[in-house]
Amino acid sequence: MSFPQPATRAWVLTDGLPGNRRQAEALARALGLAWDSPPLAPALPWRALAPRRLPGARHAYGPAFAAALGRPAPLAIGCGRQGALATRLAREHGARAVQILDPRLDPRHWDLVLVPEHDRLRGGNVIPLLGSLHPVDEAWLAEGAARFPALAALPRPRIVLLVGGPTRHAPWTAAGLQALLGHLRRQVRAEGGSLLATVSRRPPAALRAPLRQALSGLPGLLWEGQGENPYPGMLACADLIVCTPDSVTLLSEACAPAAPVYVAEPERAGGRIGRFLAALAGRGRVRPAGEALVPFPAAPLRETARVAAEVRARLGLPG
């Protein structure tokens, strides 16, 4: 296949889910590219069978995307199953295609496939990475600190708690969270620091009351989805980070600042997330959360820049 000249712009192609979009946009940003995100409106049967290609697949995502395929961006970056079919189609029309996450098909359908190490997919055009792609680097953290300066004024040590939600592969418990909150509250009171917590959309409503109670009367804050999300400022000011064991994205971003990370109930995580946690623990990047959370040496985990450099080199993209 002949390819266009090195890309100066890109398509970011996903199903719109925040995690998929975040990874694809992080790669485009790290490559120094401007990007567009043509809307994907998947119809049956492609919505269910993506990234498998059936006759008429050019029209799988609606007339607007079909028309855009006439002049695709030089580089198409996809994440997730819908993104994988969309990047296949873009490649057939002259673009280079980079797929993030295992497409569950032969990688030969894409120029490059980027997968977490714990997915175990390997091949000549497969680039493994530890965890997930994300935008958290020094510039991102500095911007977060500048946007939320009040957080840096809170008493130290500043403990940041990141709460996801129980999943089939990481069924952590309300009782475990309540015990952890008790430890954190006692530690903050003893050390005179502060506690900052943020919750995703996934925690059951029953878990929110214990969070509010644990933070009551302590310096810090609890963000539950109202107003501007202070998450970037939290990571920027954290002296110590504690998170639940249910999300590769959450854990990857928690490990990006130079702060030690403790994981609640890591023994409850199995499958891919369990393998990822084992890899982090083996590198000394995380420890299980117990009664005493003490600082330990922690090097930032930032795979996005390394992966972007390898993508750039393999595809001959400009620096």
Are residue 53 and residue 161 in the same domain, yes or no?
no
- The answer as to whether 257 is a domain residue is yes
pLDDT at 130: 96
Residue 296 lies in a domain: no
- Residues 62-112: pLDDT tens digits? 999 999 999 999 999 999 999 999 999 999 999 999 999 999 999 999 999
pLDDT at position 55:
87
Structural domain harbouring 225: 138-288
Q: Residues 106, 315, 305, CA angle at the centre, nearest 5°?
A: 95
Q: Looking at the structure, do residues 143 and 269 belong to the same domain, yes or no? A: yes
Residue 104 lies in a domain: yes
CB 27 within 8 A of CB 100: yes
- The verdict on 63 and 142 lying in the same domain is no
User: Using an 8 Å Cβ cutoff, are 294 and 269 in contact?
Assistant: no
CA distance 260 to 2: 47
More confident residue, 96 or 6: 96
Give dist(CA 47, CA 84) in Å, integer. 11
Beta strands 194-199 and 96-100 are unpaired
Q: What is the pLDDT of residue 4?
A: 38
Cβ atoms of 159 and 242 closer than 8 Å? yes
pLDDT of residue 107: 96
- Verify that 28 and 115 share a domain, yes or no: yes
Residues 119 and 164 in one domain: no
State the pLDDT at residue 202.
66
- Identify the H or E element spanning 113: strand 112-116
- Using CA atoms of 68, 71, 76, 80 in order, give the dihedral in degrees to the nearest 10: 20
Interval 154-177: pLDDT, tens? 999 999 999 998 899 999 988 999
pLDDT of the residue at 54? 85
Contact assessment for residue 70 and residue 90, using Cβ atoms and an 8 Å cutoff: no
Q: Are residues 24 and 107 in the same domain?
A: yes
CATH number for the domain that contains residue 308: 3.40.50
> Domain count of the chain?
2
Let me know if residue 294 belongs to a domain: no
- Answer yes or no: do 120 and 199 share one domain: no
Do 207 and 67 share a structural domain? no
CB 151 within 8 A of CB 228: no
269-308 pLDDT, tens per residue?
Answer: 999 999 999 999 999 999 999 888 999 999 999 999 999 9
